[in-house]
Amino acid sequence: MIPNRLFIRNRANLAAQLPPKSIVVFTANEPMPRNGDEFYPFRQQSDFFYLTGINEENAFLLIAPDYPDESLREVLFIEPYDEVKATWQGEMLDAKQASEISGVKTVKGSDAFYNVLNDIAFSGYGDTIFLNSYEYPKYECAVETIQQRFGKKIKELYPMHQYGRTAPILNALRMIKSNDEITITQQACNITSKAFRRCLETVKPSMFEYEVQAEIEYIFKQNNATGHAYAPIIAGGKNACCLHYSKNQSQLHDGDLLLFDIGCEYKNYSSDLSRTIPVNGKFTERQKQCYNAVLRVMKEITKLYRPGGCINEINETTHRLMEQEMIQLGLFTEEDVKQQDPNKPLERKYLMHGMSHHIGLDVHDSIDKFKPFEPGMILTCEPGIYIREEGIGIRIENDLLITQGEPINLFEGLPIEIEEIEAAMQR
């Protein structure tokens, strides 16, 4: 179990940044329908987990730092015991357990939430209500979430109140990981490393991508991971040139490369690893040239993961360095670069994605690409090259912890050099 000091600290940090006479309210996630009478496995909304550690539905959190009754400054509401539900779905969380997990001293039934909120909202100590929503620049979803519906209901109940957003506060807080979070993330990376090492021992021509995925999932489950942090990419040959390939159904062929983009979720925290290996255990000369080009750039940009650096700098430097590597690989010439359309750089044909993102409770965690790096941030480093006409797709990725000095690679020791990969596969 995660020490509840993590959640106590997180709530205190949030409360410290609220204006006077504020209330913050959160709702837990709801089960997602799959088909028929089935639901997808439950996953808690990340901000709710960050503040409570509770992995249950039908729950609320209320924080009112200025309310005179100290017992109601933090209240966790959980689903009341239901004997029928417990019989069919398993034992339910009780108030004592919820308090031990979260560190919240006052735990009530979720059926009491609106009564308590009403008292505080009209007390004179809750003039501004802060609501939670997922705010990520590149995320679009046509499905209305329970957080959005919850926000609408609160505004209908209290139309004359002022409102604020928790996202800017929590996004900034979540970018800096505590020691507890770093320890959990390192364990997630360790499990993912074990899965990749198993693949080095088992991958061979004629296997199917889904068989490789099965090896990975076996190691994840064997090591108590809850599953994938995101849809795994197991891409052989030309499939690796599709950046978010996830069908994982093709057969692996002798002479092709196999690109992994995998990561387990452990105690709700993510890991994110990319590696590229030869299906038959030996890189061709051309594959070596391309792989080492990406690896050289990765080693250079890793040096930029220091306090004061930023994601934009990582991206700009990577594209500049990869352009020179692509010239050496014969993909285009210096003269071609001079004559290129500045709005359509030639190198973007072979490298189309960003090189770094924050990682934490979400694999693409809270992000500010302009914010300078600070100790405690964990970010990916993931340059690549994708040559469709040659069926070559290569990405190499580590998770890096920012420190006062050089970054710490959370995948340290995992084979990354050509010689290391080939030696591991020959064994």
Give residue-wise pLDDT tens across range 174-203: 999 999 999 999 999 999 999 999 999 999
Q: Would you state the structure tokens that stand for residue 388, as one six-digit string?
A: 């469709």
Mean pLDDT of 111-134: 95
Residue 367 vs residue 346, higher pLDDT: 346
Residue of 256, 265, 272, 325 marked catalytic: 272
Q: What are the chain's domains?
A: 5-175 (3.40.350.10), 179-426 (3.90.230.10)
Task: Report residue 134's pLDDT band, with 50, 70 and 90 as the boundaries.
Answer: confident
397 is a catalytic site residue = yes
Catalytic residue among 245, 291, 395, 422: 395
Residue tagged active-site, from 357, 358, 365, 422: 357
Whether residue 271 contacts residue 230, with contact meaning beta carbons closer than 8 Å, is answered with no
pLDDT at 90 over 90: no
Q: Can you give the pLDDT at residue 277?
A: 98
* Distance separating alpha carbons of residues 116 and 81, to the nearest angstrom: 19
- Does residue 49 register a pLDDT over 80? yes
At residue 89, the pLDDT reads 85
Q: Taking 90 as the threshold, does the pLDDT of residue 427 lie above it?
A: no
Using the predicted structure, report yes or no on whether residue 139 has a pLDDT greater than 90. Answer: no
Give the model's confidence band at 83: pLDDT under 50 very low, under 70 low, under 90 confident, else very high.
confident
pLDDT of res. 212 = 98
Of 181, 261, 325, 347, which residue is the catalytic one?
Answer: 261
Tell me: pLDDT of 137 over 80: no
Predicted TM-score (pTM) of the model is 0.96
- Whether 353 sits among the annotated catalytic residues: the reply is yes
- Residue 261 annotated in active site: yes
Confidence band for 43, pLDDT divided at 50, 70 and 90: very high
37 is catalytic: yes
pLDDT of 290: 98
User: Mind listing the pLDDT tens digit for each residue in 253-306?
Assistant: 999 999 999 999 999 999 999 999 999 999 999 999 999 999 999 999 999 999
Catalytic residue among 253, 296, 306, 353: 353
Q: Residue 378 and residue 99: Cα distance in Å, rounded?
A: 29
Question: What residue type is 220 in one-letter code?
Answer: F
**Choice between 414 and 142, residue whose per-residue pLDDT is larger:** 414
CA distance 83 to 96: 18
Q: For residue 367, name the pLDDT band (cuts at 50, 70, 90).
A: confident
Tokens of 174: 């979540």
Q: Is 43 a catalytic residue?
A: no
Cα–Cα distance, 56 to 135 (Å, whole number) = 22
Catalytic residue among 37, 144, 334, 341: 37
Tell me which DSSP letter residue 340 carries. S
Catalytic residue chosen out of the listed positions 365, 397, 399, 422: 397
In percent, how much of the chain has pLDDT > 70?
A: 100
User: Catalytic annotation on 364?
Assistant: yes
